């Protein structure tokens, strides 16, 4: 977990997919427990990030709360759905979501970022905003709750494309959105009996310390290498999951 934390701190990711992969394949943790642990861990890892972005003015509170609350509802529902998915199938489905996350990251990093200079917040009616925000929350929440992933690339793209948020604001708002989604999803797994407090502490102790160290290397490598590492990380996590 410490070494993984260094990697995640370096690329600036929550790493829920990698947590699931390592816990299930290397430490033989049942995948449902791994999913619940990854969501619970995200509560702590995103809390400080959300607060930091709030202080810097990078959060759209209206969008964050609307998407986050609707996402939390579906994240809880997703945790109930995951219980009924066979273990072997859940390994494949979660790995598939990690590969799809990598595709979304490619779009986010290499395509959407190229439009950021012309990025301007779009004006929407209250009704249209509500429909789009709730739709983003429902879609990303069900993904997070069912497969234990943070769905950050999906949330960011939804905030930028559907709601027209600038790139920097979409990053900060995503941190706020993930917080209630992780709480609700983690609670769902807890009530289903898939929660281990000691395991959560071990994961957080390693990843949070490692992440602090890894973040110090972020600005010392070329941007192309950093972006490549961000894309390859969920792919590697997916490959590891398929080993089991």
Answer for the pair 241, 21: CB distance below 8 angstroms, yes or no.
yes
pTM: 0.82
Give me the residue spans of the domains in the chain: 2-243
Average pLDDT over residues 8-26: 78
DSSP string, 73-128: HHHHHHHHHHHTS-HHHHHHHHHHHHHHHHHHHHIIIIIGGGGGGG--PPP--HHH
pLDDT in tens, 161-207: 888 888 778 878 888 898 899 999 999 999 999 988 999 999 988 88
CA 192 vs. chain centroid, Å, equals 22
Mean pLDDT of the chain: 84
pLDDT at 117: 44
Average pLDDT over residues 55-65: 89
């Amino acid at each position: 977990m410490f070494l993984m934390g260094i990697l995640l701190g370096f690329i600036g990711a929550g790493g829920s997919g990698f947590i699931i992969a390592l816990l299930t394949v290397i430490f033989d943790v049942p995948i449902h427990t791994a999913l619940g642990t990854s969501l619970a861990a995200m509560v702590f890892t995103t809390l400080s990030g959300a607060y930091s972005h709030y202080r810097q003015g990078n959060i759209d509170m209206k969008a964050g709360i609307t998407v986050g609350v609707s996402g939390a509802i579906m994240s809880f529902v997703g945790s109930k759905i995951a219980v009924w998915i066979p273990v072997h199938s859940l390994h494949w489905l979660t790995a598939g979501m990690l590969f799809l996350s990598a595709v979304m990251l490619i779009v986010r990093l290499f395509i959407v970022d190229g439009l950021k200079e012309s990025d301007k917040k779009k004006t929407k009616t209250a009704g249209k905003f509500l429909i789009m925000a709730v739709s983003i929350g429902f879609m990303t929440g069900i993904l997070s709750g069912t497969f234990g992933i943070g769905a950050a690339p999906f949330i960011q793209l939804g905030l930028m494309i559907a709601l027209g948020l600038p790139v920097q604001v979409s990053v900060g708002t995503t941190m706020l959105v993930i917080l209630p989604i992780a709480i609700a999803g983690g609670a769902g797994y807890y009530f289903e009996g898939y929660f281990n407090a000691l395991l959560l502490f071990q994961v957080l102790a390693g990843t949070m310390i490692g992440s602090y160290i890894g973040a110090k290397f972020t600005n010392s490598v070329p941007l192309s290498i950093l972006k490549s590492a961000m894309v390859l990380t969920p792919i590697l996590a997916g490959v590891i999951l398929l080993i089991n």
